[in-house]
Structure 1
Amino acid sequence: MRAIEVGLREVAQCGVTHAFGIPAGSINAIYDALLDIPEIKSLIVKHEASAGYIAAAYSRVTGRPSLAIGSSGPGATNLLTACANAFTEKTPVLFITGAVPTPILGKGGAQELLATPLFKSITKSSVAVHNPSDVPGALVRAYETAVSGIPGPVHVELPINVQMAEINSHPIVKNTSEKIQTQFKLSEVEEITQIIQQSGQRGAILLGYGAKSAKRLALELAERLQWMVATTPRGKGGFPETHPLSLGVYGLAGHERAIMYLHSKEWDVLLVIGSSLGESGTCNWDEQLVNEKRLIHIDYDAKVFGRGFTPYRTISGHIEPILSLLIEKLGARPPLATTFTQEIAAAAEEMSPSFDEGSPKSTEDSLKTRDIIRRIGECAPEGTKFYVDIGELMTYAIQELTMKPGFDFDINIHFGGMGSGITSSIGAKLAEPERPVVCITGDGCFFMHGMEILTAKEAKIPLLFIVVNNARLGMVYHGHMLQYQRCPSEFSQERINLAEVARSLGIEAHQVSRISDITKEQMLQWTQRGMPVFIEVVVDGNEIPPMGERVKFLQGATY
């Protein structure tokens, strides 16, 4: 049996069920082998970067590694950005790239490239395998490395002749049981419990993306402590924003209420759960977040502690058992004081959706991005998962998509490129086929990875793609205008009818120009079609998006 077939059968036994990529000469043996391995479903995409983003989204939701496959040379380099994103997101993906045959290495073969060192800094492991008999073991070790400890991507480079060589098949001893070590001590939780109890109601909670694995417990903890809760932009969806204790989002494009509350001196303990406290989640590391406060930081990756702020106490390990034990130690919830009940009611009223008096409103002739984003959230079916792309629209989505109970939100805000929302939504829908998944993207992002809507059509993946078309690169346009008071004309472009583009691909498409064109009934129908549906929303694009904190950071940057 060929080495690559033996190796793929082994990782299928480990739990790999999906492979994403584009076939080419140096990896055609992989695709030929997959014909005989039904346990691994193959999805052919339109760009290798898309393969990496789709694989990462699928693995992020399921927790199981998937394969992202690229050819030698440009196929491998196209995967690099998506691999860096998976590394930043701590997502277990197996990146496999082909290579020229070993006898011609170094002779300048077509698309020859030593990819192993390129992947080294953005993976947990990057190896080249030149002995055919080592292929199965290398792929199994790659799987084990991806899921062990702090999860992350791995890379294996396989020359085509190594893939195709015949080898003897023999069982490989697997050890995929090692996970993130929950080595926190009971005494650590007891100490934090004492700090929290001493603070009484003088505390606040900031939830990051990592806290989403323990949503129920985070809610229970907040209600037990009666502490107000904010989320980072990536943590959005980890706490229902309709809850009386919700402050909304803190950080990039965050809610003013969350920023004012967390910067105030009304409390002295900040409990951060599942956040690396990076730029976007801390208002550019604003010291007001932690000044004169005790920072308690809980995360499964101890490497994030102390990077931006000095913590008072830390606990590393699985978030769910830590919160469970913390709640147990805190004991029964005390009755709410009358004055505090009134404060909660006032907070709920303040967080209810209402338009900014100073913001321009949509009219029959001019649809505003803020309005349409809010409308999408109001009309989305129960349990919707939103994948939001990079750009101007993400700032509106962070502010205006109210996370109701059962909703979820994802955005590759750290290293996701434009169009990563389109590709990631495909992986998310494959991971949760019964859940409504809505991708909100822009025209600039569509021009990057928009052809993946054809991938969704070909694979019959029922996604709802909503493209906000403002005929410009909105984020950079407005950012440039705010920073320099002028802007290159090339940041805007001739408006293209994107709905017609989608129809030309055989996809159901509609163009929306009025707020009333989107209703609950219509969105429910669009998400239940059984095939992808494409909605183009035409906006004038002249609103200034809520990106003040980002502009302040850029204005203060030195190069």
Structure 2
Amino acid sequence: MPETPVGAIELVLDYLVGEGVEYVFGVPGGALVPLYEALAGREAIRPVLTKHEAGAAFMADGYARVRRGLGVCCGTTGPGATNALTGVACAHADSIPLLLLTAQVSTAGLGRGAAQECSPFYGDTVALYTAVTKLSAVVPDGTKAGELVRRSLRAALTGRTGAVHLSVPGDVARARVPRDLRPASAYRPLSRPVDRDGVRRVADLLRRAERPCLFAGHGTNLAHAGPALARLSERHGLPVATTPKAKGVLREDHPLALGVFGYGGSRWADRYLTDHDVDVLVVVGSSLGELATNAWDPRLQPTRALVQIDVDPESVGLNYRVQLGLVGDARATLEALAAELGDEPLPSAESSRVRLSVLRRAMPRRHEVDRATGPGTVHPVDLVDGVARVMPADAMLFVDIGNCMSWFLHYHECRRPDSFFISLGWASMGSSIGIAIGGAMAAPGRRALVAVGDAAFAMSGMEVHTAVEYDVPVTFIVLNDGGHGMVAHGDELLFARSVCPARFRGPLDVRQIAEGLGARAFAARSPIELDRVLAAALAEPGPSVVDVAIDPRVVPPPLRTRADTLKHYFASRGTSHTTTTSDK
């Protein structure tokens, strides 16, 4: 007996439930009512009302990052669709699998100036999202709903994962269609690709190497390859550096951890990778972009062979001359490499451990700073260390864009994998607030902490109210220095004067704002009270906000390094860093 037909939007939701999706983040609107009507009758998948569609996209991003699955958000036609653009683009730039569902006016009204119409006649959102997604399409009629949602899920969740967009007209959403529901294995591959011949060649290079090193990128996070990376490193004595986005994929107190290389990088990683002693460098899950390489530092090129492993063939050899490129999943490839190498340590294992030990004794991991600050303020390094002292062992730290990322990338030590998150693909200020809320909802029982500047908080802080309404355990720590500190400091470092209007005319009263949004609010105005205030905020079962006064004159050391890099880079118009790709 054939199944009873369902609405096309019901079929879409059936597929999302099949992918394990629990929430749809968004803001309702007239044309989006069919979606919310369908959600109202379900328990497995629930709507979350956000304050803005950008917040909805960031929450879907965070949910997907932490859960390592699909995140879903929605927006109504017109401004609802365009408001989500930045969040969707950020997710796509970081290869986060995300589905945006946008409404469209009923097909009978297309081209006739219907209210908030988003068609080729009046601003085409399908075309708009084509530039920032793997797939952007309109569902033209109900019979296409199943086909297009399967195609969207396949695009979002396979290869280099990313964002996708479906626009659903109101009448199409309600159209009755057969319940053609198929398992994931029927519409997308579930196996993880491995280049077996390439793995054997990498193993041979490592056996003959004298000074090998692993360089792990964000792709190791996406593939959940941290455990495989740790096993390979430990068994064969391979030092590991990471890109900024992969910070903590190998815990940073590990004896073989060099820490971050690139923006905000550790002194150990910088010295080890640029002193021309590394002969075989195995890069896993990174395209070696600007922030991961200190603006394509040519010294990163090893003396013998650079091996690049990536699920995206377009990333292999993109920025550096590669002697061996492998296209494959990071986790599956690292597991295959460990099996190929066997149980015997590499010939280089002991010397690598000695060299790393000597380096650690020769210099500290972090830049030393004078922690003196003005009255009524806290030094950012004291804040970073204070967070480390009080945060629960299984807590997640979400770091925003601006000076806070300089401080936390460099000074925070990740002691557990899957505990550090930063959206650096498009590097959107304020993104961490929504991402943390979505991430916390994906991991019930784990506390989320956010490090965010006051200027970024001004952009997205209203989403604190969303955390309050849904009782999400997030502690938002606001580094309050009176405006856009990174911009102000950058002006001084690059031009020795202020160029941009970067400082607010009056400070934000973050504590009062937070209380107005219903969160428990705290303030820290000295290092002495910092631990007490942070501990009190973390003791709250629901969301809390900590307003930390930061001396606006304190410049992060990584920003000084970044300014020096940019001066050199701009002066040479990039030519000094293109030598690595000259004979691709």
2:345 paired residue number:
333
1:392 paired residue number:
403
Give the conservation status (yes or no) of the 8 Å contact 1:150–1:180: no
- The AA in structure 1 aligned to 2:59 is I
Give the conservation status (yes or no) of the 8 Å contact 2:455–2:483: yes
Q: Distance in 1 between matches of 2:357 and 2:381?
A: 26
- Would the alpha carbon gap of residues 352 and 515 (structure 1) be closer, same or farther in structure 2, given more than 3 Å must change? farther
- Would the alpha carbon gap of residues 317 and 528 (structure 1) be closer, same or farther in structure 2, given more than 3 Å must change? farther
2:220 paired residue number:
211
Q: Distance in 1 between matches of 2:181 and 2:351?
A: 64
The alignment of Structure 1 onto Structure 2 pairs a total of residues equal to: 555
1:505 counterpart = 2:517: yes
Mapping for residues 84-123 of structure 1, pairs under 5 Å: 84-113=89-118, 114-123=124-133
Unmatched tracts of structure 2, length 5 or more: 1-5, 119-123, 575-584
1:547 paired residue number:
559
Give the conservation status (yes or no) of the 8 Å contact 2:534–2:546: no
More displaced stretch, 306-315 vs 127-136: 127-136
1:81 paired residue number:
86
Unmatched tracts of structure 1, length 5 or more: none
Instruction: Say which of 495, 498, 503 aligns to 2:507.
Output: 495
1:437 counterpart = 2:448: yes
Q: Distance in 2 between matches of 1:146 and 1:55?
A: 13
Q: Distance in 1 between matches of 2:366 and 2:71?
A: 42
Give the conservation status (yes or no) of the 8 Å contact 2:272–2:278: no
More displaced stretch, 124-133 vs 233-242: 124-133
2:135 paired residue number:
125
Mapping for residues 86-485 of structure 1, pairs under 5 Å: 86-113=91-118, 114-165=124-175, 167-176=176-185, 178-179=188-189, 182-200=192-210, 202-212=211-221, 213-290=224-301, 292-331=303-342, 332-333=344-345, 343-349=355-361, 356=368, 358-362=369-373, 365-406=376-417, 408-485=419-496
The CA deviation at 1:72 is 1.0
SS across alignment from 2:521: strand
SS across alignment from 1:138: helix
1:481-500 deviation digits (Å, cap 9, x = unpaired): 21122214731111121011
1:517 paired residue number:
529
1:59 paired residue number:
64
Give the conservation status (yes or no) of the 8 Å contact 2:136–2:164: yes
- Would the alpha carbon gap of residues 180 and 277 (structure 1) be closer, same or farther in structure 2, given more than 3 Å must change? farther
Give the conservation status (yes or no) of the 8 Å contact 1:68–1:96: yes
- The AA in structure 1 aligned to 2:60 is A
- The AA in structure 1 aligned to 2:267 is E
- The AA in structure 1 aligned to 2:180 is P
The CA deviation at 1:422 is 0.7
Give the conservation status (yes or no) of the 8 Å contact 2:520–2:537: no
Q: Distance in 2 between matches of 1:41 and 1:280?
A: 37
Q: Distance in 2 between matches of 1:143 and 1:184?
A: 22
SS across alignment from 1:490: coil
Q: Distance in 1 between matches of 2:528 and 2:461?
A: 26
SS across alignment from 2:245: coil
Q: Percent identity?
A: 30
Give the conservation status (yes or no) of the 8 Å contact 2:482–2:507: yes
Q: Distance in 2 between matches of 1:348 and 1:482?
A: 30
- Would the alpha carbon gap of residues 424 and 191 (structure 1) be closer, same or farther in structure 2, given more than 3 Å must change? same
- Would the alpha carbon gap of residues 7 and 31 (structure 1) be closer, same or farther in structure 2, given more than 3 Å must change? same
More displaced stretch, 361-370 vs 486-495: 361-370
SS across alignment from 1:518: helix
Give the conservation status (yes or no) of the 8 Å contact 1:382–1:407: no
- The AA in structure 1 aligned to 2:131 is S
- Normalising by the residue count of structure 1, what TM-score does the alignment of the two structures yield? 0.93
- The AA in structure 1 aligned to 2:410 is Q
2:9 paired residue number:
4
Give the conservation status (yes or no) of the 8 Å contact 2:206–2:346: no
Q: Distance in 1 between matches of 2:363 and 2:383?
A: 19
- The AA in structure 2 aligned to 1:138 is L
Q: Distance in 2 between matches of 1:43 and 1:423?
A: 12
SS across alignment from 1:450: helix
- Would the alpha carbon gap of residues 369 and 14 (structure 1) be closer, same or farther in structure 2, given more than 3 Å must change? closer
SS across alignment from 1:445: helix
1:536 counterpart = 2:547: yes
1:409-445 deviation digits (Å, cap 9, x = unpaired): 1111121311101110011111111222111111011
Q: Distance in 1 between matches of 2:202 and 2:265?
A: 28
SS across alignment from 2:214: strand
- Would the alpha carbon gap of residues 375 and 347 (structure 1) be closer, same or farther in structure 2, given more than 3 Å must change? farther
SS across alignment from 1:272: strand
The CA deviation at 1:296 is 0.9
Give the conservation status (yes or no) of the 8 Å contact 2:193–2:332: no
1:36 counterpart = 2:41: yes
Give the conservation status (yes or no) of the 8 Å contact 2:397–2:419: yes
The CA deviation at 1:190 is 1.6
1:37-94 deviation digits (Å, cap 9, x = unpaired): 2211111101111111111121122232232101111111111112212222222211
- Normalising by the residue count of structure 2, what TM-score does the alignment of the two structures yield? 0.89
The CA deviation at 1:529 is 2.6
More displaced stretch, 81-90 vs 415-424: 81-90
The CA deviation at 1:286 is 0.8
Give the conservation status (yes or no) of the 8 Å contact 2:249–2:418: no
- The AA in structure 2 aligned to 1:497 is D
Give the conservation status (yes or no) of the 8 Å contact 2:21–2:71: yes
More displaced stretch, 135-144 vs 175-184: 175-184
Give the conservation status (yes or no) of the 8 Å contact 1:383–1:407: no
1:361-388 deviation digits (Å, cap 9, x = unpaired): 3576432122212321233211221100
1:48 counterpart = 2:57: no
- Would the alpha carbon gap of residues 382 and 400 (structure 1) be closer, same or farther in structure 2, given more than 3 Å must change? same
- The AA in structure 1 aligned to 2:128 is L
RMSD of Structure 2 on Structure 1 (CA): 2.5
Give the conservation status (yes or no) of the 8 Å contact 1:360–1:543: no
1:301-336 deviation digits (Å, cap 9, x = unpaired): 222101101211122212222212222222323699
SS across alignment from 2:337: helix
- The AA in structure 1 aligned to 2:57 is G
